[in-house]
Amino acid sequence: MSNSVNGIKKIIPCLDLKDGRVVKGVKFEGLKDIGDPLELARRYFEAGADEIAFLDISASDRGRSFLLELLSNTRAAISIPLCVGGGIRNLQDMEALKKAGADKVSVCSSALARPELLSEMAAAFGRESVMLAIDAKRVSPLRWNAFSSGGRADTGLDAIEWAKKAVELGAGEIMLNSIDADGTEAGYDLELCAAVS
């Protein structure tokens, strides 16, 4: 993932976590084990990453305690900002992650189910701490829908309209994930990026 603030490019490796391991697939399917999250975060930090994002795509209760420990250990090992997402349903979840070392918290499915969560998060912790993840998939030549549940459920909601509404509600940043381009090594979905921008 890359991010541009005031024309300055940032490199933000996004590490998908499942059962305590970093995984990678193609179009959100066929996940393969890539390695240890702390080891990879250190490696990206040493290589010059500006920020690290951890996304717990399994988002189980067991995963939550693992994620808190991972955040504490990663915060002790590296000095760049950390973003974390996966299974955050309320302010208590966000508070626990912030206490463990997260600078930003990312939500996707829970915000789709209850959009006011973005406003609550921004009011409690500031919009700079709130990142909305949008898992988008092309459904027609000029339309992408927002998907929930790790890219498995089509919400029927237009991804561009959802991005606009989310920013109005309090999202400080958007992590835009193209399901169509994910893991294909064909580059970014520039049409989707331009449409949302």
In the set 56, 135, 182, 189, the catalytic residue is 135
pLDDT above 90 coverage of the chain, percent: 83
Q: Model confidence over 127-165: pLDDT tens digits?
A: 999 999 999 999 999 999 999 988 899 999 999 999 999
**What's the number of domains the chain is made of?**
1
Q: Which of 16, 56, 182, 189 is catalytic?
A: 16
135 is catalytic: yes
Average pLDDT value for residue range 96-120 = 96
Q: Residue 124 pLDDT > 80, yes or no? A: yes
With tokens 């890359």, the residue in question is 2
Pure H helices in 51-158:
61-77, 91-100, 109-113, 116-125
Q: Is the pLDDT of residue 6 over 70?
A: no
Domain range enclosing 111:
2-196
Is 16 in the active site?
Answer: yes
Question: Can you give the CATH number for the domain in which 100 is found?
Answer: 3.20.20.70
178-192 average pLDDT score: 93
The pLDDT tens digits for 9-30 are 889 999 999 988 999 999 999 9
Mean pLDDT value of segment 63-73? 82
The pTM score is 0.90
Q: Which is nearest to 196 in space by CA: 171, 174, 181? A: 174
